[in-house]
């Protein structure tokens, strides 16, 4: 499985990742991206890494 982590300090609140994530586990809280779904459903597809303008995401394979 994969573990996604988000550096919220870098998040500019564009929400691009929320729409792009195929697992629909990302959401916005107070203009910052958060994991709002089941983190265990992350597919490790790295779509979020590709779309984020500010390099907020890192994915680790467990
Ligand atoms: S790696 Fe894919 S499934 Fe996981 S949070 Fe990013 S976009 Fe969503
Ligand atoms: S794409 Fe990056 S900057 Fe935009 S909301 Fe998601 S984490 Fe924040």
Nearest Cα residue to atom 2 of ligand 2: 52
What's the confidence (pLDDT) of residue 18? 98
Q: What is the pTM of this model?
A: 0.95
CA–centroid distance, residue 53 to ligand 1 (Å)? 15
**Can you give the residue ranges of every domain in the chain?**
2-61
What pLDDT digit, counting tens, does each position of 21-35 carry? 999 999 999 999 999
CA–centroid distance, residue 62 to ligand 2 (Å)? 23
Architecture of the CATH domain 2-61: 2-Layer Sandwich (3.30)
Cα 49 → chain centroid: 8
What pLDDT digit, counting tens, does each position of 1-54 carry? 999 999 999 999 999 999 999 999 999 999 999 999 999 999 999 999 999 999
Nearest to 22 by CA among 53, 45, 56: 45
What's the confidence (pLDDT) of residue 36? 98
Nearest to 32 by CA among 52, 61, 3: 52
């Amino acid at each position: 499985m994969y573990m996604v982590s988000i550096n919220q300090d870098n998040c500019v609140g564009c929400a691009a990742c929320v729409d792009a994530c195929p697992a629909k586990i990302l959401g916005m809280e107070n203009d910052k991206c958060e994991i709002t779904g089941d983190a265990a459903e992350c597919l490790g597809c790295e779509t979020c890494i590709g779309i984020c303008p500010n390099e907020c995401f890192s994915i680790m394979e467990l």
